[in-house]
Structure 1
Amino acid sequence: MNNNNNRSIHNSVPSDIAFKIASLLQELDLCALGSCSRFWRELCGSDHIWSGLCVDRWLALGLDKGQLSSVPDFNPHHLQQHHLESKLKGWRGFYVNKHHEMASKADAVIAFLEQCISSESIEVNHYLVAMQNMNSMQFGFRDVVLFFFKQNLHVLLNLAGMHYCIAWLGVPADRVMEALYRCKISDRQICVQWWKLGRWAYGFRLRDESISRSASLKDLAMTKEQEVLDVLYRGAIHEVIRVQISAPKPVSSHWSCQSQIAGTSG
């Protein structure tokens, strides 16, 4: 009965349409579709499908999708200096190995950032080192979404991933926004405080100036807080002597109650 159903599904979908459907899917959906029948398993495991996923996810490798489509027997393992062993072969094996490699690198960056976060804040020099490491490790946009855009991570890790996509990868704002909404972290708030060297006036140097800004990830992604992004990108240089990033401190219930009483009495 199952074999007859599989044959009917196969016969009802032309091969070119089936290929088009499979080529539009991401990894998990592709694997789920491949479990439906032998026909879909062979199609969803083909090099033609997985080569496209590799090109889209890891642009830094310099792969050319147009060239790959005309050279189906091209060996992707030649692109890796350190190939990880896998039972899967071809482009699918390359994708799986590369995914595990990037997951390990993401764990290292996350561990570094979590170690640097003290009292819910992080100094900007550590923040910039983390993103420079992400750049040297060749993180792509899809890697950031998978490993850094998680609700269970500290908001400063979400911020580092988002800022890396904007400043280092040059991902368009609307694409970043879509990912933030999909991962349900767009409304998460961060606070950036920086100290500027006091100005000179009448032969005396004034006190150092402290500036604080709070913003949501979506506001930063849409460059509504460009000054904050500029400070984060430059770090502590010239007149800016220190930059600290944190999650906004919640307003205590006692203070909130006093504010409401004061507003009522006014």
Structure 2
Amino acid sequence: MRSLSLPLSVPDDVALKIASLLQVPDLCALASCSPFWREICGSDCIWEPLVRERWPPLEFSDGSSSSTAIKKTMSMGWRTFYIEVHHKMAAEATSVVQFVKQCRSSESLEVDEYLGAIELLHAMRFGLEDVEMFLFKPEHTVLLNMIGLHYCIDCLRVPAICVLEALYRSKISERRVCVEWFELGHSSPYPHQNFYIPDESHFRYLSLEDLAMYKGEEVLGLIHEGASDWRIARVKITIADP
């Protein structure tokens, strides 16, 4: 890398160290300060770790490996590649938003619709930052917020504290949903007891913060069971607050 003169001399290795400690918005702001910082902040050694950190579920290829990997041409810099993948994820996030909007009701989701949206995110290989950036928006319905939260916990295995921090930053942690489920009646499981347990309906009100913590484990597990357990006739997730 060629060195460019500065009013205050900063060795290239020191400048690279400084730039490598920054998050993307600050890195871009620093790059606009001078030609020297533009060159430093565009370095592949800075942007490659940023790509891999933001999208850990993704495979990256220079064209010679797996057919399922996202391709990066040899001539493309990692900064340009980061921008390209970001735009791809933004477009795919829009498709998830549209999927939820086209479901049967704007106020609630049946369990098959809800799990279908999570499957879309899984197929797109979203990272936590994508979920926070594109789905944890306060202007989105809390149903979309919850889908992103559930995906982070269940598919990405993001620690609860990291999910909570993302909810707090997005100012959506107190938003609430109501999860309703309907259990079919059945005979007593004990041979010596001859009685029938009637159909029952249940519901739980939970905030997104509750769902990110241990309070939500039972409910999130129930949502998965509701798609396969014959005893559960229906599971529905509804917006709790206007």
TM-score range, shorter chain: 0.7 to 0.9
The reply on whether 1:210 has 2:220 as its aligned counterpart is no
The equivalent of 2:26 in structure 1 is 29
Alignment map for 1:120-135 (pairs within 5 Å): 120-135=107-122
- TM norm structure 2: 0.86
Instruction: Show the counterpart of 1:110.
Output: 97
Partner of 1:165: 152
Cross-structure match for 1:239: 231
What amino acid sits opposite 2:7 in the alignment? S
Deviation at 1:110, TM superposition (A): 1.2
TM-superposition CA deviations, 1:80-114 (whole Å, max 9, x none)? 867699xx931111111111111111111111012
Match status 1:182 vs 2:184: no
Question: Could you say which residue in structure 2 is the equivalent of 1:3?
Answer: none
Aligned CA distance change for structure 1 residues 78 and 54 (closer, same or farther; 3 Å): farther
Q: Aligned to 1:32, what secondary structure does the other structure show? A: helix
Q: CA RMSD in A?
A: 2.4
Q: For 1:197 and 1:240, how far apart are their aligned partners in 2?
A: 6
Matching of residues 87-106 of structure 1 within 5 Å: 89-106=76-93
Residue correspondence of structure 1 range 1-266 to structure 2 within 5 A:
7-9=6-8, 11=9, 13-62=10-59, 76=62, 89-116=76-103, 118-201=105-188, 205-236=196-227, 237-249=229-241
Kindly tell me the number of residue pairs found equivalent between the two proteins.
230
In the alignment, structure 1 segments of 5+ residues that lack a partner are 1-5, 64-74, 251-266
- Cα offset, 1:238, TM superposition: 2.7
Query: Within 1, Cα distance between the matches of 2:44 and 2:62?
Result: 10
2-side partners of 1:205 and 1:118: how far apart? 34
Which structure 2 segments of 5+ residues have no match?
none
Map Cα deviations across residues 149-174 of structure 1 (whole Å, 9 max, x no partner): 11110000000001100001100111
Deviation readout 1:35-77 (Å, 9 max, x if unpaired): 00111100111111110111101112346xxxxxxxxxxx846
Counterpart secondary structure, 1:118: coil
CA distance in structure 2 between the aligned counterparts of 1:163 and 1:210, rounded to whole angstroms = 23
Q: 3-state DSSP class of the match of 1:215?
A: strand
The alignment partner of 1:61 has SS state of coil
Indicate conservation of the 8 Å contact 2:175/2:241, yes or no.
Answer: no
Amino acid at match of 1:45: G
Higher helix share: 1
Question: Are the structure 2 counterparts of residues 177 and 77 from structure 1 closer, same or farther at C-alpha, using a change threshold of 3 Å?
Answer: farther
Aligned to 1:256: none
Greater RCO, 1 or 2 (C-alpha within 8 Å, sep 6+): 2
Q: Distance in 2 between matches of 1:217 and 1:199?
A: 33
Q: Counterpart amino acid of 1:214?
A: Y
Aligned partners of 2:140 and 2:64: how far apart in 1?
Answer: 35
Identity of aligned residues (%): 49
